[in-house]
A and B are shown apart, each in its own frame.
Chain A
Amino acid sequence: MSFVAIVRQPINPSDILEHVGSEEDGANILFVGVVRNHNEGFPVKGVRYEAYEKMAKSVLEEIVMEARSQYGTDRIATVHRIGDLVIGDVSVAVAVSSHHREQSFLASRYIMEEIKKRLPVWKKECYLDGREDWTQGVTPGSPQLTEPE
């Protein structure tokens, strides 16, 4: 029942939620990551996401499989958008449903943390003053902590 995709079109969060849920589940969780209007104190007008698409799809599937195995639910949907996004656009959505809320909270958190650590996707911040910079990011396999977001 898991659903995984790397997409170029806008993400509608309610569509992602429709991939999960069942009569046996009492908890549906939806995490939505959106483009914010600032980075490191500078105003941002948008971002560009680039991916190694074939690998990103397989890494995302691997992450979801790990979450299924660790948290005991296969009702998981994860979508990451690439291309040019503007402020407020949804960049990533993770939906999980499970019998009880703890499994869904933990699984969605695990998926987001692993995306930050190893999904081959890169983000370029496009600032209002015209500058464009690749976000520093995390080296896959390193013990480096992700930034709190």
Chain B
Amino acid sequence: MLFFASYREAVGLGRMNVRLPIEATVSDLISELHSKGEKFTCLPDSVVVAVNHVYSEPATMLNDGDEVAFIPPVAGG
């Protein structure tokens, strides 16, 4: 998992690995993080997630080795 910008600063790290049950979804991953403690509460329930560089839905199923990125509101330009 990757955390960027304000999420990286709030969580206190830019990258971490997590083990999930088979057929876990993005939504399951968010719930798992929220259960890990206060530092992950900066991630809203509706946090935007990209899986392998593509914006994904809560129901997107995760596979072994997927790169999941938590995307704060963007401000390019």
Residue numbers of A with Cβ under 8 A of B are 33, 49-52, 54-56, 58, 80, 91-92, 112, 115-124, 134-141, 149
Contacts and interface: CB of A to CB of B under 8 A. Distances in A.
Given A115-B77, A136-B73, 7 more contacts: A55-B50, A55-B69, A80-B77, A92-B77, A134-B6, A134-B72, A136-B75
A118 B74 contact: yes
B48 interface: yes
Interface in B1-47: 2, 4-6
A54 B53 contact: yes
Contacts of A117: 74
Interface residues of B, number: 17
Which secondary structure characterizes the binding site on chain A?
mixed
Contact of B76 (A116, A124, A134, A139): A116
A146 B18 CA distance: 35
B76 A140 contact: no
B77 A52 contact: no
B71 interface: yes
Contacts of A116: 74-77
B73 A137 contact: yes
B55 A121 contact: no
A80 B74 CA distance: 14
A119 B5 CA distance: 14
B77 A91 contact: yes
A140 B49 CA distance: 10
A121 B74 contact: yes
A122 B71 CA distance: 9
Given A52-B71, A118-B55, A120-B4, A92 B48 contact: no
